[in-house]
Structure 1
Amino acid sequence: MAHYTGDPTRNNQDIRNKFNDGVNLSLYEHYWESPDTLLKADIASKLEAVHNAGFTSIRLPVGYDLFLQPHSYIVRPELIDRLKEAWAVCSRLHLSLVITYHYGKLTNDNDLEEREKIITIWKQVQNAFQGISYDSLVFNLYNEPTLNRDSWKRDVTYIAKALRKQDPSRYYIVGGTNYNSIDELRELGNINVENILYEFHFYEPFLFTHQGADWTDGKTNITNLPYPYKRKEMPQVSNEAKKPSADDYERYPDEANRQFVRDRLKDIVKYCKKHRMPVICTEAGVITAAPEQYRNNYLQDITTILYELAVPTILWDYDQKFSVLNGQGKPLNGVLNWLKPG
Structure 2
Amino acid sequence: MLEKPSEESSLVIRKIRAVSETQLLERLKTTAFFQKQTPFFGRGVNIGNTLEAPREGDWGPRLKAKHLDLIQQAGFDSVRVPVRWSSHASNTAPYTISPTFMKRVRWVVDEALRRDLKVMINIHHYEGLYANPEQHSDRFLALWRQIADEFEGAPPELVFEVLNEPHDNLDAGKWNRLLADALPIIREKHPERTIVVGPANFNSIDALQFMTLPRDRSNLVATFHYYSPFQFTHQGAGWLGDESKQWKGTTWIGTPEQQRAVRNDLDRALRWSVENEIPIYLGEFGAYQEADIDSRNQWTRFVADEAIERRIGIAYWEFYSGFGVYDPKKQRWHEGLRDAILGK
- Name the TM tier (shorter chain): 0.7 to 0.9
Give yes or no for contact 1:157–1:193 (8 Å, CA) kept in 2: no
Cα–Cα, structure 1 residues 70 and 186, in superposed 2: closer, same or farther, change >3 Å?
Answer: closer
2:230 paired with 1:227:
no
Q: Distance in 2 between matches of 1:84 and 1:117?
A: 21
* 1:62 CA displacement: 0.7
2:334 paired with 1:339:
no
After TM superposition, the structure 1 = structure 2 runs for residues 135-146 of structure 1, keeping only pairs within 5 Å, are 136-146=157-167
Structure 2 counterpart of 1:323: 324
Residue deviations 1:236-279, cap 9 Å, x none? xxxxxxxxxxxxxxxxx95xx11110111111111111111211
| Alignment-mate amino acid for residue 50 of structure 1 | I
Give yes or no for contact 1:173–1:199 (8 Å, CA) kept in 2: yes
What is the count of residue pairs matched by the alignment? 308
Is the partner of 2:120 in helix, strand or coil? strand
Cα–Cα, structure 1 residues 322 and 114, in superposed 2: closer, same or farther, change >3 Å?
Answer: same
Give yes or no for contact 1:225–1:290 (8 Å, CA) kept in 2: yes
Structure 1 counterpart of 2:186: 163
Cα–Cα, structure 1 residues 8 and 267, in superposed 2: closer, same or farther, change >3 Å?
Answer: closer
Residue deviations 1:262-297, cap 9 Å, x none? 111111111111111211010001001101111111
Is the partner of 2:339 in helix, strand or coil? helix
Task: Select which of 74, 77, 89 maps to 1:68.
Answer: 89
Please tell me the root mean square deviation across aligned C-alpha atoms, in Å: 3.0
Structure 2 counterpart of 1:184: 207
* 1:63 CA displacement: 0.7
% identical equivalent positions = 25
Where structure 2 has 5 or more consecutive residues not aligned to the other structure, the ranges are 1-29
Give yes or no for contact 1:97–1:137 (8 Å, CA) kept in 2: yes
Residue deviations 1:108-167, cap 9 Å, x none? 763234222112112212111112212x10111111111221111111122112322333
Q: Distance in 2 between matches of 1:82 and 1:204?
A: 34
Structure 2 counterpart of 1:124: 146
Q: Distance in 1 between matches of 2:251 and 2:331?
A: 22
Task: Select which of 51, 59, 62 maps to 1:28.
Answer: 51
Structure 1 counterpart of 2:275: 274
| Alignment-mate amino acid for residue 297 of structure 2 | N
Structure 1 counterpart of 2:231: 207
* 1:193 CA displacement: 4.5
Cα–Cα, structure 1 residues 84 and 335, in superposed 2: closer, same or farther, change >3 Å?
Answer: same
* 1:226 CA displacement: 1.2
- TM-score norm. by structure 2 comes to 0.80
Where structure 1 has 5 or more consecutive residues not aligned to the other structure, the ranges are 1-5, 231-252
Cα–Cα, structure 1 residues 77 and 32, in superposed 2: closer, same or farther, change >3 Å?
Answer: closer
Give yes or no for contact 1:108–1:151 (8 Å, CA) kept in 2: no
Q: Distance in 1 between matches of 2:57 and 2:260?
A: 44
Structure 2 counterpart of 1:241: none
Give yes or no for contact 1:53–1:331 (8 Å, CA) kept in 2: no
Give yes or no for contact 2:33–2:274 (8 Å, CA) kept in 1: no
Structure 1 counterpart of 2:127: 105
| Alignment-mate amino acid for residue 127 of structure 1 | D
After TM superposition, the structure 1 = structure 2 runs for residues 141-156 of structure 1, keeping only pairs within 5 Å, are 141-146=162-167, 147-156=170-179
Cα–Cα, structure 1 residues 338 and 214, in superposed 2: closer, same or farther, change >3 Å?
Answer: closer
Q: Distance in 2 between matches of 1:267 and 1:79?
A: 39
Cα–Cα, structure 1 residues 42 and 181, in superposed 2: closer, same or farther, change >3 Å?
Answer: closer
Q: Distance in 1 between matches of 2:326 and 2:148?
A: 33
Structure 1 counterpart of 2:261: 260
* 1:229 CA displacement: 6.8
Residue deviations 1:171-208, cap 9 Å, x none? 21111111111111122153334422100000000010
- TM-score norm. by structure 1 comes to 0.81
Is the partner of 1:286 in helix, strand or coil? coil
Cα–Cα, structure 1 residues 105 and 42, in superposed 2: closer, same or farther, change >3 Å?
Answer: closer
Structure 2 counterpart of 1:198: 222
Q: Distance in 1 between matches of 2:171 and 2:340?
A: 39
